[in-house]
Structure 1
Amino acid sequence: MAAHVQDVFMLFGDSITQEGWEPGHNAFGQRLTHVYARKLDVLNRGFSGYNTDWGIPVFEQCIAKTSDPSAPKIRVLAIWFGANDACILPSPQHVPLARFVANLKQMVGMVKSPASPRYSPTTRIILISPPPVDTFVRRAELQARDPPIALDRGFEVTQGYAEAVRDVAKEEDVAFVDVWTAVWEATGKDERSLSKFLSDGLHLNEQGYQLVYQELIKTIATKYPDVHYDNLGPTFPPWAEIDWENPSNSLYTVRKAD
Structure 2
Amino acid sequence: MGYPKFILFGDSITQHANEIQGNFALQPALQDWYIRKLDILNRGYSGYNSEHARVILPHILDAELNAEKNNVKLITIFFGTNDGFVDNNPIQPISLERYRENIDYLVSLAIENNIKPIVIGPSLHDPKICKKVLPHLKPGGEDATSNKRYYQYSEAAREVCKNRKVAFVDLWDEFRKDGGWTRDQLFQVNGSLENWEVGSLGHLLSDGVHFTGHAYKIMYDAIKKAIGKHYPEFLPDNLATNLAVWSDINPTDLKNSIFK
What's the TM-score bracket when you normalise by the shorter of the two chains?
0.7 to 0.9
SS at match of 1:195: coil
1:173–1:38 CA distance, 2 compared to 1 (3 A): same
**Cα deviation, residue 245, structure 1:** 2.5
Aligned partners of 1:179, 1:83: CA distance in 2, in Å?
Answer: 11
**Cα deviation, residue 24, structure 1:** 2.7
1:184–1:193 CA distance, 2 compared to 1 (3 A): farther
Identical-residue share of aligned pairs (%): 31
Match of 1:98 in 2: 97
SS at match of 2:201: helix
Aligned partners of 1:125, 1:57: CA distance in 2, in Å?
Answer: 17
Aligned partners of 1:7, 1:238: CA distance in 2, in Å?
Answer: 18
Q: Which amino acid aligns with 1:110?
A: L
Q: Provide the aligned length of Structure 1 versus Structure 2.
A: 243
Match of 1:19 in 2: 16
2:125 to 108, 122, 133: 133
Aligned partners of 1:29, 1:127: CA distance in 2, in Å?
Answer: 16
Q: Which amino acid aligns with 1:96?
A: S
2:65–2:71 contact (8 Å) kept in structure 1: no
Match of 1:166 in 2: 158
Aligned partners of 2:16, 2:63: CA distance in 1, in Å?
Answer: 28
Aligned partners of 1:74, 1:109: CA distance in 2, in Å?
Answer: 15
Aligned partners of 2:21, 2:100: CA distance in 1, in Å?
Answer: 32
2:19–2:25 contact (8 Å) kept in structure 1: no
TM-score relative to the length of structure 1? 0.85
Match of 1:30 in 2: 28
Match of 1:230 in 2: 237
Q: Which amino acid aligns with 1:87?
A: F
SS at match of 2:62: coil
Q: Which amino acid aligns with 1:89?
A: D
Match of 1:256 in 2: none
* Deviations 1:21-42 (CA, angstroms, capped at 9, x unpaired): 1123634111111111101001
Structure 2 gap segments, 5+ residues each: 182-196
* Deviations 1:136-176 (CA, angstroms, capped at 9, x unpaired): 2212334489x776432222111111111111111111001
Structure 1 gap segments, 5+ residues each: 114-118, 254-258
Match of 1:62 in 2: 60
1:72–1:23 CA distance, 2 compared to 1 (3 A): farther
RMSD between superposed Cα atoms in Å? 2.5
**Cα deviation, residue 77, structure 1:** 0.9
Match of 2:37 in 1: 39
1:10–1:42 contact (8 Å) kept in structure 2: yes
Aligned partners of 2:135, 2:10: CA distance in 1, in Å?
Answer: 27
Q: How does 1:236-255 map to 2 (within 5 A)?
A: 236-252=243-259
1:210 to 197, 207, 217: 217
1:74 to 72, 75, 78: 72
1:5–1:72 contact (8 Å) kept in structure 2: no
**Cα deviation, residue 126, structure 1:** 0.6
TM-score relative to the length of structure 2? 0.85
**Cα deviation, residue 109, structure 1:** 1.2
